[in-house]
């Protein structure tokens, strides 16, 4: 009985793959033409191989490599083993988690950038003299503020009868002179009067700052370097020199916003004219 034969061009067209792909499959022994004319060198495929090619393409879509597929065929199998399927499912679930994370991060970044278009400006202003309740300690990261402020500093201020100044004003200063994994952080809260110092709180008068460059930072604190770069660029272009540690003034954060894309921190950099 005559068999239907397909030349390599016809076979490539039926399967919507290139001739180059078919030659590669032949080279690695995955799908070898059932007949090669010794005079012309023409390659021919049959109907059985049409089915096999379709299955190769299906397994590729599932994410199996050509080596995996070849091993299956050599073992006399068409479909992957349960172990191979479980391995792929685990791999894709992990990829799915990564994809969801990327989608969330990209969505948050898009929202953040939209807000920044209206808020990326530098304001030059003075900072008034104030009395602060100060707490200084070494922390491993800014996330510790979320416990430090409400659970340590807040109760101690309440115990001492501190009254917050109006409008409310709190900020932190990073006293490290170089990057450290641990941060030498001072937290300052403006109050109406000094109290007696305790082991947790020190009270001091902070002098007025005649001139400070101020810029809003939106989002998590890990991206602060990006805002710093813009602030220093403005200072350089406009003839300002930083003269003291910048303050991080917390306006909105985890305490009043559901999403970290809505956190708002004002960076206040004391400066002088060149």
| Sequence-separated (6 or more) residues with CB below 8 Å from residue 170 | 187, 188, 189, 190, 249, 250
- Asked if 56 and 29 touch (Cβ cutoff 8 Å), the reply is no
Query: What's this model's pTM, rounded to 2 decimal places?
Result: 0.56
Kindly give, in sequence order, each residue whose CB lies less than 8 Å from that of residue 13, ignoring residues fewer than 6 positions away.
none
- pLDDT recorded at residue 253: 82
Q: Is residue 61 part of a domain?
A: yes
What integer pLDDT is reported at residue 114 of this predicted model? 62
pLDDT at position 180: 73
In a domain, 22, yes or no: yes
Q: Which one of 58, 78, 98 terminates a domain?
A: 78
Q: Where among 63, 78, 93 does a domain terminate?
A: 78
Burial of 199 (C-beta count, 10 Å sphere; 0-12/13-18/19+): exposed
Q: Are 135 and 191 in contact (CB under 8 A)?
A: no
CA atoms of 222 and 176, how far apart (whole Å): 16
Helices assigned H by DSSP within the chain:
8-15, 19-27, 47-61, 66-74, 82-119, 145-148, 154-160, 224-237
pLDDT score recorded for residue 112: 64
Which domain covers residue 242, as residue numbers?
Answer: 122-273
Max Cα separation, the chain?
A: 106
Q: What CATH number is attached to the domain comprising 65?
A: 1.10.1660.10
Residues 44 and 180 in one domain: no
Expressed in percent and rounded to 5, the helix, strand and coil fractions of the chain are 45, 25, 30
Q: For residues 56 and 24, give the distance between their C-alpha atoms in angstroms, rounded to a whole number.
A: 13
Q: 56 and 131 share a domain?
A: no
Reduced to 3 states (helix: H, G, I; strand: E, B; else coil), residue 139 is strand
pLDDT, tens digit, 9 for 90 and up, residues 177-225: 877 778 899 999 999 999 999 999 999 999 999 999 999 988 888 778 7
Question: Does residue 218 sit in the same domain as residue 133?
Answer: yes
Q: What is the pLDDT of residue 197?
A: 95
Strand partners, 45: 6
pLDDT of residue 118: 45
State residue 116's pLDDT score. 52
What's the number of domains the chain is made of?
A: 2
58 and 138 fall within a common domain: no
Is residue 215 within 8 A of residue 267, CB to CB? The reply is: yes
| Alpha-carbon torsion angle 81, 85, 88, 92, nearest 10 | 170
Each residue's pLDDT tens digit in the chain (274 positions)? 447 888 999 999 988 899 999 999 999 999 999 998 889 889 999 988 888 998 999 999 999 999 999 999 898 888 888 998 999 899 999 999 998 888 887 877 777 666 554 446 888 999 999 999 999 999 888 778 888 888 899 999 999 999 999 888 999 998 988 777 788 999 999 999 999 999 999 999 999 999 999 999 888 887 787 888 888 888 999 999 999 989 999 888 887 888 888 888 999 999 998 7
């Amino acid at each position: 009985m005559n068999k239907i034969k397909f030349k390599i061009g016809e076979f490539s067209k039926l399967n919507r793959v290139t001739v180059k792909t078919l030659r590669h499959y032949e080279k690695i022994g995955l799908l070898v033409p059932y007949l090669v004319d010794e005079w012309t060198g023409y390659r021919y495929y049959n109907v059985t191989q049409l089915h096999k090619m379709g299955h190769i393409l299906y397994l590729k879509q599932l994410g199996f490599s050509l080596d995996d597929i070849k091993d299956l065929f050599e073992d006399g199998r068409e479909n992957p083993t349960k172990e191979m399927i479980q391995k792929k499912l685990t791999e894709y679930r992990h990829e799915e988690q990564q994809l969801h994370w990327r989608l969330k991060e990209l969505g948050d970044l898009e929202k953040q950038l939209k807000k920044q278009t209206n808020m990326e400006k530098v304001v030059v202003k003075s900072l008034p003299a104030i009395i602060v309740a100060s707490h200084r300690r070494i922390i491993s990261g800014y996330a510790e503020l979320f416990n430090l402020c409400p659970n340590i500093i807040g109760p101690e201020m309440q115990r001492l009868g501190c009254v917050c100044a109006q409008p409310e004003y709190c900020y932190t200063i990073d006293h490290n002179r170089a990057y450290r994994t641990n941060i030498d952080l001072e937290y300052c809260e403006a109050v109406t009067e000094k109290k007696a110092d305790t082991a947790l709180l020190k009270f001091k008068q902070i002098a007025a700052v005649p001139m400070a460059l101020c810029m809003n930072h939106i989002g998590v604190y890990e991206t602060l370097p990006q805002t710093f770069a813009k602030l220093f660029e403005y200072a350089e272009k406009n003839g300002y020199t930083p003269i003291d540690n910048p303050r991080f003034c917390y306006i909105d954060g985890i305490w009043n916003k559901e999403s970290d894309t809505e956190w708002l921190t004002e960076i206040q950099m004391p400066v002088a004219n060149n």
